[in-house]
Amino acid sequence: MIRSIDSCPTGVHGLDELLQGGFPKNSTILLIGHPGAGKTTFAAKFIYEGARKYGEKGLYISLYEPKYNFFKNMKKLGMDFEELEKKGLFKYINILPAAERDFIELFTNIYMNIIKTFRPSRLVIDSVTPILEVLGNEEARSFFRAVLFQKVPKYEITKIIVADLPYGEETIHLGGIEFVADGVIVMKTRISRGLITRWMEIRKMRGRAIPMGEIPFSISENVGIRILAPPRPETVPAPSLETIYFTGCKPLDEAIGGIPRGAQVLLIHPPGFRAYTELFTANLSTFLRNRLRILTITYSLPEKILWQAVMQITRTLNIDEEEIKKLIAIRSINPSAHSIHEMMAQVWSFVNEFKPDVLVLHGLR
């Protein structure tokens, strides 16, 4: 994606496409979420990718996590902040919160001084919840407007302000700062089938059309945040009647007239019926004769078993084994180990990788 001059890319693959390039440049984004929802990982990714990809200095001010823990945890997610620090592209400040109002003065002095001396392009404050606890809603609103949300003259800084959402709560009293922010993102979690499902809601983003209400994502090692929403096509193309593929099963072909290119076919069968191998046997010679690339994704069998069935079938077709492996790909997904959004993302990843003409989803029971 080509970077727009008025955008600040988030660095989260898939999200920048949804936001037409990223956050508005020089904006302040309020990031709210339950504990464990991924707020720190998201904010860290924003800083890390800005420095790594665009050479933009990033400043991370934490009111919770010591620097050593932050560096260690983020490195597991593929973000080496120690390397960025050595290059002068990153600075981490840990300010321990206190109940006294002196803490607010200390925070303000450190905040203003580090901006003037380090001159960051990206800034994260994680989190402002201790400030809210010291000041209360009304005073906090004045503080945020005067300090955190104020555009600093001569500096263009895109900021993420993190706030904690207690478990079981859907809203948080922020003294109205959500109205001052240029963008508001809420990160949430829920348990489904014993698995953690994460998603974000973009409640507000000035100058951006929001195409989705809920955006599913995952947190994984060496990647960090990964958006799981598949691309949204503008239109659903109709099957092409100009190209018809016949199954090789004469009664079936006579009944349905073959399968148009681009058609979606659902095969339902009784338990125990070896429908996959029977149908695959009938279709494989036709697919291969037309040099169609076939991707099979199975949710119930190991890849090895399906490859054995394929090789048995292709021995009678007089096609080189290496050629078969160029035309056929088989992938296996364990549905009990992934959320529905993760499985959808895996399917899309396999399709992008292999670019098939024929996609077979096996074992969708």
pLDDT in tens, the chain (365 residues): 555 668 999 999 889 989 999 999 999 999 999 888 999 999 999 999 999 999 999 999 999 899 999 999 999 999 999 999 999 999 999 998 776 778 888 888 999 999 999 999 999 999 888 888 787 767 777 777 777 777 666 789 999 999 998 877 777 767 677 888 999 999 998 887 788 889 999 999 998 888 787 899 999 888 899 898 776 666 777 888 888 888 777 888 888 888 888 888 887 777 766 655 556 655 677 777 778 899 999 998 889 888 887 887 777 777 777 888 889 999 999 988 888 888 888 898 899 899 999 898 988 87
Q: How far apart are CA 4 and CA 161, in angstroms?
A: 23
**Which residues are CB-neighbours of 234 under 8 A, at least 6 positions away?**
none
3-state secondary structure of 361: strand
Instruction: Output the pLDDT for position 124.
Output: 98
Task: Show me where the domains of the chain are located.
Answer: 7-227, 240-362
Residue 226 exposed, middle or buried by CB count within 10 Å (0-12, 13-18, 19+): middle
Instruction: Output the pLDDT for position 75.
Output: 96
Q: How far apart are CA 333 and CA 313, in angstroms?
A: 23
Tokens read off for 307: 């490859």
Looking at CATH, the fold of the domain delimited by 240-362 is given as: Rossmann fold (3.40.50)
Report residue 2: phi and psi, to 5°. Answer: -80, 130
Q: How far apart are CA 74 and CA 44, in angstroms?
A: 8
Looking at CATH, the fold of the domain delimited by 7-227 is given as: Rossmann fold (3.40.50)
Instruction: Output the pLDDT for position 233.
Output: 65
Instruction: Output the pLDDT for position 288.
Output: 76
Residue 121 exposed, middle or buried by CB count within 10 Å (0-12, 13-18, 19+): buried
Residue 147 exposed, middle or buried by CB count within 10 Å (0-12, 13-18, 19+): middle
Q: What is the pTM of this model?
A: 0.80
Q: Check if the beta carbon of residue 260 is closer than 8 Å to that of residue 294.
A: no
Instruction: Output the pLDDT for position 323.
Output: 83
Instruction: Output the pLDDT for position 153.
Output: 66
Phi-psi region of 36 (alpha: psi -120 to 50; beta: other; left: phi over 0): left
Q: Check if the beta carbon of residue 229 is closer than 8 Å to that of residue 219.
A: no
Q: Check if the beta carbon of residue 7 is closer than 8 Å to that of residue 37.
A: no
β-strands 158-164, 122-126 pairing: parallel
